[in-house]
Chains A and B, each alone.
Chain A
Amino acid sequence: MLETRLSRRTFVGGSIVLGALLTNFRFAKAFVAPSLPYRKKKIANIRELKTHKPIMFNYPDEKSPAVLVKIGRPAVGGVGPKKDIVAFSALCSHMGCPIQYSKGRFVCKCHYSMFDPAKNGQTYQGHASEWLPQIRLKVDRRGNIYAEAVEGLIWGRIINLLPR
């Protein structure tokens, strides 16, 4: 750190404060999701989906359960003609228990956090200080739904993509 700052000052002529701000700015940007090379993964076809019938899948890898569901009401980040298809990490963002889909929302029975799938995974009740990480979806012309990235840190990881 010290060396970088000195060299910045020596060569660029900028102030120490500016140097610090730049570091902070770069740092802040660097970790904003999606900051990692997520791979695209096909989950399902739109025609297979029934409202309130969740589909389990793993994303971005086998150790990370996720859930796709058509919730029957428009959702933040929803895809499909009604913008009501969403996907989330299925590990509770509180302490990692599996979440359940019922009555149009996710409930974790470990400490009873509840997340609203229509509102970006909002913790509208319970202990989880993070909203449920939402999975970015894309639908192609044939109606295939792809997972593209995870927005938010998956519980139990320091980085969403584990080394293989």
Chain B
Amino acid sequence: MALFARKDRLPIPPKDAERVTTVCQYCNVGCGYDVYKWPVGKDGGKKPSENALGIDFTKQRVALQGQSIVENMHTVVTGKDGRQYNVLVIPSKASPVNRGNYSIRGGTNAQATYAPSKPTRNRLHYPLLRVGDQFQPISWDEAIDIIARVVKGVKDRWGPDSIAMKCHDHGGSGQGFEDNWAVGKFFFIAVGTRMLSIHNRPAYNSEVWGQRERGAHELNYTREDAWLADTIVLWGANSFETASVFYTEYMLPNLQGATIGKKRKVYRRGEPAEAGRMIVVDPRRTASVAVAEDVAPGRVLHLRPNLGTDYVLANAIARAIYEKGWHDERFIRRRTDLKTFEDYKKKSLMLDVPYDEFMRKVERLTGVSRGDIEKAAEWIAKPKRRRYRRRTLIIYEKGVIWGYKNYDTIASIAQIAALTGNYGKPGTGCGRQGGHQEGYVRPHSRSRAKLVGSVYAGGPPPNIDEYVKQNLNAKVYFVSATDPYLSTPNAQAYKKRVHERTFALTKFLSEYAATAGEPAGPEERARRILEGLGKTEGLFLVVLNMYQTEVGRDAHIILPAAGWGETPETSINCNSRLLRLYDKFVDPPGDAKPDWWIWGRIATRMKELYEAEGNYEEAKYCSGMDWKTAAEVFEDGASEFPDNRVSRADEAKLPAECYKGVTHDLLRRLGQKGIQTPVRIDPKTGRPVGTKRRYTYKFGTPDGKWKWYGTDPWDPDPKKFYPHQITKYFRGDNERKFPFWFTNGRTQIFWQTGYNDRYLPEKVYTIPMPYIEMNYRDAERLGIKSGDIVEVYNMEGNCVAVVYVNDSPPPGTVFGIMYRFHESLNHLTTSYTDPKTTIPWYKGSRVGIRKLPGRLESVIKYTSFLPINDFS
């Protein structure tokens, strides 16, 4: 008895199967995948000479060495010619990134393809127009015309800032340089609005200005550095689950000592090379901690700071390093700005406060012992035998990016690496692990609206969630490739308000139609919409996505987007900035179109409308977006990058994504090998060359020197340390009502909102509903068992979840999956954003917990509640 249909054989690709190179559509690691496509019924044979893979299928393959081909890697699609095709999407052994390895997410890449006989039939097929309480399919021409008329009308009457957006800025997941460039050109130039926000947050900002403004882009190391480091620090990054193959292919072998040979090859002569150590900074005992401890007992250090205290902890580790004299004097002198170093010593290291007193305060606030802080300092910076500097790779992610005081936290961590000379050398680096892959290119140099940086660079940027909620000047709202009803902080309050505003317009249009009939065409419809936007608090919502989403429920127009494998796209991965082409191998469902085509069409229609009224000035801004192919968009985007015919040292001056000189054709030739950005044109040969590791010679500042930063003062008393969004929970009766700290994160099992995964039976059984993790001690006290259903609630909102009792969260803290399919624990996050960057603090809130009477029997029966962080 199997809970869902399993296979016990798969078809074999014939020798002449069509082959395409691609990259996993999901996480930051960017594992390479090979695609084989052939007509159903035209299978190859079992002998190596009879099939496309050259594999002997008459034999059992050898573990780890053999090609993985599992059930979920095969599917059947319908071609535009009406024929059925087998599609095999398998992890590429030729990829330097994953070398045949894959994860629970990427292993199902094939299942994400559209097929009319599979659950992906739920993909959006046609543009949809809201009429009253229903969506009606319309043609692209009609949809584009309505949108262009409304955008133009709103812009002409209320100005460009009345158009707001929340759009992807990343690569992978069916996005890449092409779509990012199109979004940028549309909003920066054709519209010219400042009211921009990025898919997973309320503003248009870097998540790591604290590091960038020091002179280093966050993607500076290369994946091989995780083989070569003496010590790997994972700070707020549960890499085993969120960068799975990076963890198991790069970090694990290092901890096992399997990369000592590689180390010997690149280390200096006489330099000690040993099995790696790992420091994990995370309030939870994550799977990343538990696996490391199983592999390398005694060489793993786990620091569990109180929520939001990471910048204090980072500064304390730095202070301990400085106190012991383990900092890299030579690096500091030669590579960093000594003027600002004084500020850093005073404010971040707090050298004026005696060491013992400083450490006592740190212990009180962070909950981390002085012993552990000093041990971390030792593992990061104490020179090795014969006085060789220790090579430390620091990888951080959302646990700190989305922590309290984003700017100071990221700056503090990045500065540990500068203090210890850990940039630009093999086995070093300090940067993001990454969530998605990347693929950012936008026309900043030609933007009509002035975009700002952090508070130290003209900012902070406006909070668009709040703008849309509160400011009636916001009239049009585009939401693309994201579902903020699940993913934005304080989501319950947000969706309630967006619903009210969009419904106000819907109601106006319905009442209008009740007396005057439905509009006679797009022009008339747009006119009524504009009238409604003037007369009510209405908001016109346009949603672009592959599927119907939660936010899509309130849309006025929904546009169906092509996904991964349905149009050629390019992205870089996060752990080595490896640029590759994700080629097309299937057609989008119905009339779905690539994002770049959609933005281009809207702009081009606006251009025609402006021309028709003789406004050639505005028409000019809407021109140049009439692209025909993805390759054309890619090359158009390259125009934004500066002259990259520069020396090796001057890579530091190039944007991390710079790909000038690279074309789709070149990438197609390079295949899985790809090229690491920033790409330079070698001044000698005139050929494009990649950059393996960044900042070996200088940093990305005008004088090439690292710029230090002194962080804010802090109070060791939690009641004074936290912002008012949290301290309100300490007041009066609230401390009793909301006794738990609440933090959130992801699971290895599914990707993002599970937009594809929700159709796979494995995922639905494994994660049947939102869940929280609770420590044994708390569970016992409350009489809660694994599988019980609870309501988690606070002054922001509520969510119902199933409980996993384990020792992952510390007592007094519960962890929740950030969101799942239709439900969201982001209802519980506060509206706090860092005043320096407008980055929210998703990872800290206070909650109460109430057990629901009864259980859900199917959940108990089919879902595993075994501890996910015990591998022994």
Contacts and interface: CB of A to CB of B under 8 A. Distances in A.
A59 to B, nearest CB: 12
A98 B765 CA distance: 25
B148 to A, nearest CB: 36
A31 to B, nearest CB: 5
B68 A64 contact: no
A155 interface: yes
A11 B105 CA distance: 45
Interface stretch (B58-66, B267-275, B792-800): B58-66
A32 B66 contact: no
A34 B9 CA distance: 9
Contact of B6 (A32, A76, A112): A32
B39 interface: yes
Contact of B872 (A20, A102, A131, A150): A102
Interface in B39-94: 39-42, 46, 57-64, 66, 68-72, 76, 78, 82-84
Contacts of A136: 1
B294 interface: yes
Given A23-B40, A129-B70, A155-B68, A120 B9 contact: no
A112 B863 CA distance: 19
Contact of B68 (A16, A24, A94): A94
B766 to A, nearest CB: 6
Contacts of B40: 1, 23-24, 27
Contacts of A124: 766, 864, 866, 868
Nearest to A130: B70
Interface string A136-164: 10000000000001111111111110110
B169 to A, nearest CB: 28
B60 A125 contact: no
B862 A156 contact: no
Interface string B616-638: 00000000000000000000000
Interface string A98-129: 10001111010111111010111011111111
Contacts of A95: 63-64, 66, 68, 100-101
Interface string A13-51: 000110011011101100111111000000000000000
A96 interface: yes
A63 B60 CA distance: 7
A117 to B, nearest CB: 10
Contact of B8 (A93, A97, A160): A160
Contact of A131 (B102, B108, B291, B762): B762
A153 B5 CA distance: 11
Contact of B248 (A118, A123, A127, A159): A127
A111 B1 CA distance: 27
Interface residues of A, number: 70
A159 to B, nearest CB: 4
A162 B103 contact: no
Contacts of A157: 57, 60-61
Contacts of A123: 104, 749, 762, 766
B856 interface: no
A91 interface: yes
Interface string B796-829: 0000000000000000000000000000000000
Interface string B832-872: 00000000000000000000000000000111101010111
For the side of the interface on B, what is the size category?
A: 35 or more
A39 B588 CA distance: 43
Nearest to A116: B864
Contacts of A31: 7-10
A153 B64 contact: no
B12 interface: yes
A155 B106 CA distance: 17
A20 B64 contact: no
A20 B291 CA distance: 48
Contact of A125 (B108, B252, B868): B868
Interface hub of B63, B100, B106 (most chain A Cβ within 10 A): B63
Contacts of A23: 40-41, 84
Nearest to B78: A20
Contacts of B107: 127-130
Nearest to A111: B248
Interface string B748-771: 110000000000001001100000
A127 B8 contact: no
B59 A162 contact: yes
B240 A112 contact: yes
Given A112-B248, A112-B294, A119-B864, A107 B3 contact: no
Contacts of B685: none
A136 B492 CA distance: 46
Interface in B278-306: 287, 291, 294
B117 interface: yes
B58 A163 contact: yes
B336 interface: no
A77 B3 CA distance: 9
B104 A127 contact: yes
Contact of A36 (B8, B57, B58, B60): B8
A36 B9 CA distance: 9
A77 B871 contact: no
B8 A24 contact: no
B2 interface: yes
Given A36-B8, A152-B6, A162-B60, A112 B871 contact: yes
Given A122-B766, A153-B9, A156-B61, 9 more contacts: A17-B82, A32-B5, A32-B6, A102-B872, A112-B240, A122-B864, A124-B766, A125-B748, A129-B104
Interface of A: 1, 16-17, 20-21, 23-25, 27-28, 31-36, 63-64, 76-77, 91-98, 102-105, 107, 109-114, 116, 118-120, 122-131, 133-134, 136, 149-160, 162-163
A-B pairs, 5 with minimum CB distance: A129-B107, A96-B63, A156-B61, A116-B864, A124-B864
22 contacts: A27-B76, A32-B6, A32-B7, A64-B60, A97-B63, A97-B64, A109-B871, A111-B101, A112-B291, A118-B864, A119-B862, A120-B2, A120-B3, A122-B762, A127-B107, A127-B245, A129-B72, A129-B105, A153-B71, A155-B61, A158-B69, A162-B60
